[in-house]
A and B are shown apart, each in its own frame.
Chain A
Amino acid sequence: MKIQMIVREWLFFTIAPCDAAEPWQLGFQDAATPMMQGIIDLHHDIFFFLILILVFVSWILVRALWHFHYKKNPIPQRIVHGTTIEIIRTIFPSIILMFIAIPSFALLYSMDEVVVDPAITIKAIGHQWYRTYEYSDYNSSDEQSLTFDSYMIPEDDPELGQSRLLEVDNRVVVPAKTHIRIIVTSADVLHSWAVPSSGVKCDAVPGRLNQTSILVQREGVYYGQCSEICGTNHAFMPIVVEAVSRKDYGSRVSNQLIPQTGEA
C-alpha cells in the first residue's frame, strides 16, 4: 500500500519545481545559465562514450566467461604476446580520451573566464549558519550599503508551496540576462555557495575573495545549499536566487535603498 502510494505520488502528484531538487531526482535540474547548459552537454557527450565502453567491455567479459569456462574449455590456449592487439588497445582508448578531454577542457576554461564587464557585483558572505549578501555598487559612502542576512525558513514554519530546508527569508535578487559577478567569501569557516541550476559551486574561504560569474537566462527562483561541511547547521543554510527582469531589479534595489538613506 505504502509503496503504491509513493509510486502514485511520484508519477502524478509530484510538484516539480524545476529549479530545486525534487524527490527521487536522478538527472540535472534545468539549466538557467549557459554554464550549466555546457555542463549538461558535456555530461551527455561523455555518456555517449561511457555507454559505448560499457557495452563493449561487458560483451568481452561475458564472452570470455562463456567460452573459457573450465568445463567447456579445460585446456586454455596460452597466448603470451600479440603486437597488433597491443597497439590497437593502446591507441584506441587514447583517441577516446582525447574526444572526452577536448570538450572538457574547453568547458573548464570557459567557466574560468573572467567576465570583462559585469553589470553588477554581489558579495555572498557565509556565516555559521546563514548568509549575508552585500550589494555595494550603489554606495556613496563606506557606511551605507544594501546588506541583508538570509536565513532559512525554520522547518515548522514554511507556508504551503515552500520547499522544506530550501526556502530563505531574504532571497538574492538578481537581474536576468545580465552578467553578474559574485564574490564569495566567508566570515568564519569554509562554506560553499552552490546553485545547481546555474552551474555554480564556489567555496567560501575566510580571508579570500572568490569570484564567479553567472548569466541567468530566464527569470525564476533557483535553489541551492551550502556545499562545504561547516558545522552543525550546515544543512540549514540554503541559497535562493531570484532572477527578475532588469526593470524589476532596478525598482527592488531603489526601494531598498531609499528607506535606508531616509533613515540615515
Chain B
Amino acid sequence: MNQNDVVQGDNLTLSEVITGKQAPDPAHEYGTVSPPPSSPDQSYRNEDEVPQPNVEIELKTAPGDWRFPVQNQTRHCYTRYLEYHRCIKEKGKDDPACEKFARYYRSLCPLEWIQRWNEQVEQGTFPGPI
C-alpha cells in the first residue's frame, strides 16, 4: 500500500474510495454532547472555556464633573491628577481618601500622559500647582 494512498489513517485506500468500493471517512468524528451545566449562572458559551474564578468586575468610573460639563475633558483629567497629588501631599501617600482621585485620573487620562507627568513629578519638573 502506498503511503500517499492512505485516507485519514484508516485502512481505507484512496483508490477504493475513488472507484466507489468504499465510502469515504466522515470529515471528523461524531462528537458527543456534554451534559448541560448544573446551575444557570455557570453556563459558558464555549465548552472548552475554563470556568474562571468568578471575578466580579464592578462597572464604575470617574463620574461626570460639574466643573467640566463640556466635550473637552482635558482639564478634567489634569485637575484629577493635580487633586491626587495635592491630596497625598496633605494626607500622606497611603491615605485611602486619595485613592479615589487616583482612580479618576487613571480612568480619564491616557497612560502616556500619566507616565510623562509621573516622570516630571519624580524629577521635580512638573509645571502644575501641586
Contacts and interface: CB of A to CB of B under 8 A. Distances in A.
Interface of A: 112, 114-121, 123, 125, 134, 136-139, 142, 145, 147, 175, 178, 181, 183, 185, 187, 207-212, 246, 248-251, 253-255, 257-258
Per CB-CB distance, the 9 closest pairs between chain A and chain B, nearest first, are A254-B55, A119-B59, A250-B57, A121-B61, A211-B73, A116-B64, A209-B73, A121-B107, A137-B61
A136 B56 CA distance: 16
Contacts of B72: 208-211
Contact of B76 (A118, A120, A209, A246): A209
A93 B115 CA distance: 56
B90 to A, nearest CB: 20
Contacts of B6: none
9 contacts: A114-B70, A117-B63, A118-B61, A119-B61, A120-B59, A137-B61, A142-B115, A250-B56, A257-B55
Contacts of B69: 114
A125 B110 contact: yes
Contact of B74 (A208, A250, A254): A208
Interface of B: 45, 52, 55-57, 59-64, 68-74, 76-77, 103, 106-112, 114-115, 118
Contacts, number: 91
A209 B55 contact: no
Contacts of A257: 55
A197 B82 CA distance: 37
